[in-house]
Amino acid sequence: MKFGVVIFPGSNCDQDVIQVLERVSSKPVAQLWHKDHNLQDCDFIVLPGGFSYGDYLRSGAIARFSPIMQEVIAHANKGGYVMGICNGFQILTEAGLLPGALLRNTEQKFICRNVHIRPETTDLLPTRRLDKSKAYQVPIAHGEGRFYADAATLQRIKDQDQVMFRYCNSHGEIAPDTNCNGSIESIAGISNEGRNVFGLMPHPERAADSDLGNTDGLLIFESLLEAVPA
């Protein structure tokens, strides 16, 4: 499997993701510039975190119209794999590849700290190797991370088992005070109905190296390799 990471003006987590993917896959990762129209035969596209186009208008609203997004959308619509992390998640909702929206955090402040998330299903590529009874510590860094969906959309997401992660405490318990940004039903990550497009607000690439004192996020990347043939 060949990974590609899209780089937008303002991306600042692209190299982190590239390094983790190259380490777990033992293969070079393609760097895809936002003005390109060529996905370089990549099987799995990652939209990294950052502040694409300075987060003007809304986070991800301008990046959604970058030339390469035409190819990413076509790739996803054909069943190709796409994952957005933080700003990448915001771009995917703006592009209509994932349902719902990411709104300003409840306290209207940028949050940067470690949180715990609990996988809600193991039937998605990023969660195949995870334990639903365990809480994983992964950093967040966002000002617009509050997931929202109307009642009908939220019900479809739950009915189709599309909730990937929820915010929780270190014991995996979900409570109001563990919901760091006010996301509806503590949702931290979802998939599309086709189960080939994934979005999450926490940054697993920042918890994927023993030198950082945390490798919980590494399991998410390893799940991708284990579930999809090389």
Q: In the predicted model, what is the mean pLDDT of residues 66-76?
A: 98
The band of 225, judged by pLDDT with boundaries at 50, 70 and 90, is: confident
Q: Alpha-carbon distance 177 to 171, whole Å?
A: 13
Range of the domain at 157: 3-227
Count: domains in the chain: 1
Q: What are the angstrom distances between the C-alpha of 209 and each of 51, 138, 221?
A: 23, 12, 12
203 is catalytic: yes
Provide the CA 44 distance to its chain's centre, in angstroms. Answer: 13
Q: State yes or no: pLDDT of 107 exceeds 80.
A: yes
37 is catalytic: no
Q: State yes or no: pLDDT of 130 exceeds 70.
A: yes
Strands 111-119 and 44-47: unpaired
Q: State yes or no: pLDDT of 230 exceeds 60.
A: no
Q: State yes or no: pLDDT of 104 exceeds 80.
A: yes
Provide the CA 65 distance to its chain's centre, in angstroms. Answer: 19
Reference 223, options 89, 40, 13, 44; nearest CA is: 44
pLDDT at 229: 58
Q: In the predicted model, what is the mean pLDDT of residues 175-204?
A: 97
171 is catalytic: no
Q: CA gyration radius for the chain?
A: 16
Catalytic residue among 86, 144, 168, 180: 86
Catalytic residue among 34, 75, 116, 203: 203
229, two tokens: 């043939």
pLDDT at 227: 60
Catalytic residue among 71, 120, 205, 222: 205
Angle at 97 between CA 32 and CA 184, to 5 degrees: 120
Look up the pTM and report it: 0.96
What does the DSSP assignment read for the chain? Answer: --EEEEE-TTB-SHHHHHHHHHHHHSS--EEEETT----TT-SEEEE--B-GGGG-SSTTTTGGGSHHHHHHHHHHHTT-EEEEETHHHHHHHHTTSSSSEEE--TTSS-EEEEEEEEES-SSSGGGTT--TT--EEEEEEESS-EEE--HHHHHHHHHTT-EEEEEE-TTS---GGG-SS--GGGEEEEE-TTS-EEEESS-GGGG-BGGGTB-TTHHHHHHHHHHS--
Q: Find the CATH number of the domain harbouring 62.
A: 3.40.50.880
Identify whether the C-beta of residue 201 lies closer than 8 Å to the C-beta of residue 145: yes
Read off the pLDDT of residues 3-15 as tens digits, 9 standing for 90 and up: 999 999 999 999 9
Q: What are the angstrom distances between the C-alpha of 25 and each of 16, 50, 186?
A: 14, 23, 31
